[in-house]
Structure 1
């Protein structure tokens, strides 16, 4: 009987500890959400300043390089929004959504490819990015098919 009581009390202590850990996870997620919103707002401000400074003052011949920088800044904001979505999804469901993580990774790799200066990178880098895209695409397809099968 005493052994059973010790096990029950030990379980209660473990449950209390896990409850404290869960509360800390939620608190950290909320703080990260707030910081990510600040980062997004600063990035939008940076983008606005860059657009007005570069596009309105740059000569026409420089437009292409400026455009790639603008695309990179836009994609940075999209990546930050996806990360914020990952955090808020975790806060709602208390699980990481792998599909969102893979989509965020795909956007990050796409950003890298869009702003890539082909004159400064070697073939190995391009092959690595291609392999990363292929692996992420296959992962996304597997997760998507798995989710579709589970919703039927």
Structure 2
């Protein structure tokens, strides 16, 4: 309880001074980023375990039709999920290193996510408008990435 009272007192004091308050905000951002990193590492490890389990089951224990009992598209989806999670982890660690959000990394992550959706797109399950929306999003993100790269190369 004494710790909590001291913390509240420090925050009230920091509220009066912008620089001190920003130090607290910075500390909270770091703590949240580290917690997100740890949570994402756990998600990546569990996803990797799931991928290994699916592959080993399909390759060694079931009698597949063809080579895999699951469609190759579903397996690619699992791979791409891990890749997207790794990109998200890279975004968080880049933030922890430089304390800035790198827009280029965010756009690349979004492009990978859109590519994943396009790769695993099932035309029987979705309408044509959904594919058109993915194409427009892909085009917009590609243009954004090109602009960002062009600006970064000039500076």
**What is the TM-score when the length of structure 1 is the normalising length?**
0.87
Deviations along 1:15-49, whole A, 9 cap, x unmatched? 11110000000111011111111110111000000
Unaligned runs of 5+ in 2: 1-12
- Which structure shows the higher helix fraction? 1
RMSD: 1.9
Q: How many residues align?
A: 142
Larger relative contact order, structure 1 or 2 (CA cutoff 8 Å, min sep 6): 1
* C-alpha separation in 2, matches of 1:24 and 1:11: 15
Determine which of 67, 75, 78 is the counterpart of 1:70. 75
Measured after TM superposition, the shift of residue 110 of structure 1 is 0.5
Q: Does 1:95 align with 2:128?
A: no
Alpha-carbon displacement from aligned partner over 1:110-138 (angstroms, at most 9, x marks no partner): 10111111122111101100000000000
- Whether the 8 Å contact between 2:15 and 2:21 is mirrored in structure 1 is no
Tell me the residue number matched to 1:28: 32
Aligned partner of 1:6 in structure 2 is none
Residue 137 of structure 2 is aligned to residue 132 of structure 1: yes
Secondary structure, aligned partner of 1:60: coil
C-alpha displacement at 1:54, in angstroms? 2.2
Answer yes or no: is the 8 Å Cα contact 2:63–2:69 preserved in 1. no
Where in structure 2 are the equivalents of 1:2-151 lying within 5 Å?
13-56=17-60, 57-61=62-66, 63=68, 65-150=70-155
Does the 8 Å CA contact 2:91/2:105 hold for their aligned counterparts?
yes
Alpha carbons of structure 1 residues 58 and 139: separation in structure 2 relative to 1, 3 Å: farther
Quote the Cα distance in structure 2 between the aligned partners of 1:78 and 1:89.
16
Gaps spanning 5+ residues in structure 1: where? 1-8
Q: SS of the counterpart of 2:68?
A: helix
Map of 2:9 onto structure 1: none
Query: Matches of 1:19 and 1:49 in 2, distance apart?
Result: 45
1:55 deviates by 3.0
- TM normalised by structure 2 equals 0.85
